[in-house]
Amino acid sequence: MKKQFGDNEKIPVGIALSGGSARGFAHLGVLKALEEAGLHPGVISGVSAGAIVGAFYADGYSPEEILEMFIEKKLFQILHLNVNRTGFLKPSGIDSLIKKYLRAKTFDQLKIPLYITASDLNRGVAVYFHEGALPDKIMASSAIPVLFQPVVIEGTTYVDGGLIDNLPVQPVRNKCRVLVGVSANPNYEENDLNGFWKLTERTIYLNLVTRIQEHKLYCDIFIEPPTLKDYGLFEISKAREIFACGYDEAKRVLNKHAELLKGKT
């Protein structure tokens, strides 16, 4: 059962996890570094890859367990293997694995409070899910526009939350004394734009980046591993290296903010 918090008390540490496809493995490295520092997020907000990581972590899995599960079960690798009749890529493998390995089936069964962000295409707003069934909310948060089939929940059409809010601090920024924001999307110059996938990846990426700049100002600690620029959004084979990028940068940033974090363990 997840921990409840009252209106007048704040959680010591909360965390917001961005989207970023395969670069989302960096979130696991950050969580490991936080644990080693004795910091355990009491509330999590995630979008897209961050929603997947956040859900499994809130379910009680360790960062290493999640990493090994994703690698062993090829959780992300099967994204491109199933094309439905509408022409959309359908990540049915991810859906089935979430339903099989995520022990909590609803938000209130999680060990840590969790918010999942999805984009409501009908109204053009970000929605922060915090109750009800988990799997469909995770899939909605991860449905990359144009590439993946939108998810319909109770008559509303949802796609990847990163389209509107790729650093979902909004639902948690007033609930914790220290908010850690993690972006898996450092900006960089890209000169190789040849081919459909290169253009598609760059277009998606620029949208992710622009949605982060304003919201990072709400974070007490902001972690954005610069070395992630060396990894593609769909470069699944480099999961361990991406994990290490997040871990190393988190260690550096946490050391820099040691004074702020005193008494938060």
Per residue in 220-244, pLDDT (tens digit) is 999 999 999 999 877 888 999 999 9
Residue 206 reports pLDDT greater than 80: no
Please state, for a pLDDT cut of 90, what percent of the chain lies above it.
Answer: 64
Residue 99 reports pLDDT greater than 60: yes
Say what the pLDDT of residue 82 is.
52
Q: What is the mean pLDDT of residues 202-214?
A: 77
Say what the pLDDT of residue 54 is.
99
Q: Which helix (H) or strand (E) holds 11?
A: strand 11-17
Residue 67, φ and ψ in degrees, nearest 5: -60, -50
Per-domain residue ranges for the chain?
11-251
Query: Any idea what DSSP says for residue 143?
Result: -
Q: Which helix (H) or strand (E) holds 28?
A: helix 25-36
Asked if 28 and 243 touch (Cβ cutoff 8 Å), the reply is yes
Question: How many CB atoms sit inside 10 A of residue 106's CB?
Answer: 12
Say what the pLDDT of residue 129 is.
99
Residue 252 reports pLDDT greater than 90: yes
pLDDT averaged over the chain?
A: 88
Question: How many CB atoms sit inside 10 A of residue 142's CB?
Answer: 30
Asked if 47 and 166 touch (Cβ cutoff 8 Å), the reply is yes
Residue 109 class from Cβ within 10 Å (0-12 exposed, 13-18 middle, 19+ buried)? Answer: middle
CATH code given to domain 11-251 = 3.40.1090.10
**Alpha-carbon gap, residue 86 to 84, rounded angstroms:** 6
Conformation bin of residue 113: beta by default, left when phi > 0, alpha when psi is -120 to 50: beta
Split at pLDDT 50, 70, 90, the class of 92 is low
Q: What's the half-sphere exposure (Cβ side, CA atoms, 13 Å) at 108?
A: 2
**Alpha-carbon gap, residue 181 to 171, rounded angstroms:** 13
Q: What is the mean pLDDT of residues 251-260?
A: 93
What are 138-186's pLDDT values in tens digits? 999 999 887 788 999 999 999 999 999 999 999 999 999 999 999 998 8
Say what the pLDDT of residue 80 is.
44
